[in-house]
Each structure stands twice: as structure tokens, then as C-alpha cells.
């Protein structure tokens, strides 16, 4: 009976170690993504596109409070749309 408990404990420890390794791999990939040039360039490009579209819509508008929203909106949209780019990037990292 004690052999059965030992095997059960060993199996549980093995599963926990595998789960920790899997989590560590995911965390490492998250850190790598946050500092990647792919992410930075995508944010710049998407923000630029939003600013250009916005500028075309408000030509000759000098409302500083409204204009100040442009970078915020651009950044927000770019972070929302990067999930597809990230999936492609992650596949290349493996």
C-alpha cells in the first residue's frame, strides 16, 4: 500500500513540475514579446495610421483637448489589434 502512495505522490510531483515548466516558458515568451521590435514597430505603425486618419477627419481643427486624444486612441487600438501579430511572432520564437 505504501508503494501505491509513493507512486501517486511522485506522479503528482511530476505533474506539478511540468506545469511550472510550462508556465515559466509562457512567462519568458511574454517578457520577450513586451520588449520585441515586432511589437514596437506594430504599435508605431498602427498609431501613425490612426493619427493620419484622425487628422484627415479634423482638418483645420486646433482643439488641443480633442487632438490630445489621438495618441491615446492610437495606442489603445494598436494594443487591441496586436494579438494576431503576436500569435505569428510566437510561432517563430519556438
- List the grid coordinates of 24: 515559466
Three-class DSSP category at 68: coil
pTM of the model: 0.56
Give me the torsion for CA of 55, 57, 59, 63, rounded to 10°: -80
Cell 503576436, residue located = 86
- List the grid coordinates of 72: 491615446
| Average of per-residue pLDDT values in the chain | 81
Cell 517578457, residue located = 31
More confident call, 45 vs 16: 16
**pLDDT digits 0-9 by tens, 18-50:** 999 999 999 999 889 888 888 888 887 887 787
**Distance between CA atoms of 47 and 10, rounded to whole angstroms?**
51
**Distance between CA atoms of 28 and 21, rounded to whole angstroms?**
10
Amino acid at each position: 500500500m505504501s508503494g501505491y502512495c509513493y507512486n501517486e505522490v511522485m506522479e503528482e510531483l511530476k505533474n506539478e513540475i511540468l506545469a511550472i515548466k510550462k508556465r515559466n516558458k509562457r512567462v519568458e515568451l511574454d517578457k520577450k514579446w513586451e520588449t520585441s521590435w515586432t511589437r514596437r514597430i506594430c504599435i508605431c505603425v498602427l498609431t501613425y495610421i490612426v493619427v493620419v486618419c484622425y487628422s484627415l477627419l479634423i482638418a483645420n481643427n486646433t482643439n488641443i483637448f480633442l487632438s490630445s486624444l489621438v495618441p491615446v486612441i492610437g495606442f489603445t487600438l494598436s494594443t487591441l489589434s496586436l494579438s494576431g501579430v503576436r500569435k505569428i511572432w510566437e510561432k517563430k520564437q519556438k
